[in-house]
Amino acid sequence: MQDSYVRTEKGDMWQRNQTSLADFILEGLFDDSLTHLFLFSLTIVVFLIAVSGNMLTILLICADARLHTPMYFLLSQLSLMDLMHVSTTIPKMATNYLSGKKTISFVGCATQHFLYLSLGGAECLLLALMSYDRYVAICHPLRYTVLMNRKVGLMMVVMSWLGASINSLIHTVILMHLPFCGSRKIHHFYCEFPAILKLVCGDITVYETIVYIISIVLLLLPILFISTSYAFILHSVIQMHSAGSKRNAFATCSSHLIVVSFWFGACIFSYMRPRSQRTPLQDKVGSVFYSIITPTLNPLIYTLWNKDVAKALRGVMGREILTQRWQLQLS
């Protein structure tokens, strides 16, 4: 009798484990209508622009010796994060749409969740630390090479990647060990944390509350740090007597401020609203903005607003044109 009970209990545990490891179903963004086919094509174009723009930014910073400074090293890491972020979600969404399949494996979902959460957290931290770089450059220009040397820049990058990865690993492990029951359909186009959390059965109110508080802290602390840095910057700019110096200071900070506004605005919309006020459509709209639109706009903003990057781009294009002319003359 006891052996039978033990075998039954083991069988139930095995069945629950198999259920937990079953594939998830991603709802996706588009259906089979012509309108959605056009929107899908537009999304792919935007994705290709994001990939090429961020790759170009990284290559320009690596190729041009004038851009080998802490500021542009941080910018190259931002472009790398955007490149990885957009590559974590869109290819799987496109594959599912084109193949007609909507499944994603348990391991694949966990991996995607870890990557997108790591990259999102790392970008929040990096954008905050980039504001310190701007503060030092404008408020303490004579001490810039001391306060923002290569070692400090490298430490900032390591802190951003490592801190965000540890946070993401903890949340991914906890989330994927929670019991899933009923439908395994994720009302999203990738394995986003709030969308997966809705599939969990049982009382997880305490865990949700803790995650909500952590999300607020992880978003508000960088925003507070950025606001403090720019308060000091604004104070220094007001005290400048030269109109040219003021224009240069604003030009230096404007691109970073625009990127910060887009990124944190989308994150606040997506993660700082209570669960009762969230709808799947709103979650998708917010995610599309910070996972597709923002990575596309970032390199465009820095290229158009930053004179050094624009000059490096013109230099590379000019050399390419001269090379092509030289090859034509030889032929």
Domain ranges of the chain: 24-312
Q: What is the pTM of this model?
A: 0.84
Q: Which residues contact 115 (CB under 8 A, 6 or more apart)?
A: 84, 88, 168
One DSSP character per residue, 142-187 reads: GGHHHHT-HHHHHHHHHHHHHHHHHHHHHHHHHHHTS-B-S--EES
pLDDT beneath 70, residues of the chain: 1-21, 273-278, 304-305, 316-331
Cα–Cα–Cα angle for 124, 129, 133, rounded to 5 degrees: 145
pLDDT of res. 163:
92
| Contact in structure between 237 and 210 (CB atoms under 8 Å) | no
Rg of the chain taking only CA atoms, in angstroms:
24
What does CATH list as the number for 24-312? 1.20.1070.10
**Residue 303 Cα distances to 72, 169, 306, angstroms:** 12, 34, 6
| Contact in structure between 29 and 288 (CB atoms under 8 Å) | yes
pLDDT of res. 86:
93
- What is the C-alpha separation between 175 and 173, in angstroms, rounded? 6
Question: In what helix (H) or strand (E) does residue 27 lie, and over which residues does it extend?
Answer: none
Phi, psi dihedral angles at 103 (to 5 degrees) = -90, 155
- The number of residues in the chain equals 331
pLDDT of res. 230:
92
Query: 221-227: long-range contacts (C-beta < 8 A, 24 or more apart)?
Result: 221/128, 222/124, 222/125, 222/127, 222/128, 222/264, 223/128, 223/264, 225/128, 225/131, 225/132, 226/127, 226/128, 226/131, 226/260
For 229-258, write each residue's pLDDT tens digit: 999 998 888 888 777 777 877 777 888 888
Phi, psi dihedral angles at 285 (to 5 degrees) = -60, -45
pLDDT of res. 275:
63
pLDDT of res. 216:
80
For 79-112, write each residue's pLDDT tens digit: 999 999 999 999 999 999 998 888 899 999 999 9
Query: 203-208: long-range contacts (C-beta < 8 A, 24 or more apart)?
Result: 204/178, 207/174, 207/178, 208/275
Question: In what helix (H) or strand (E) does residue 45 lie, and over which residues does it extend?
Answer: helix 34-63
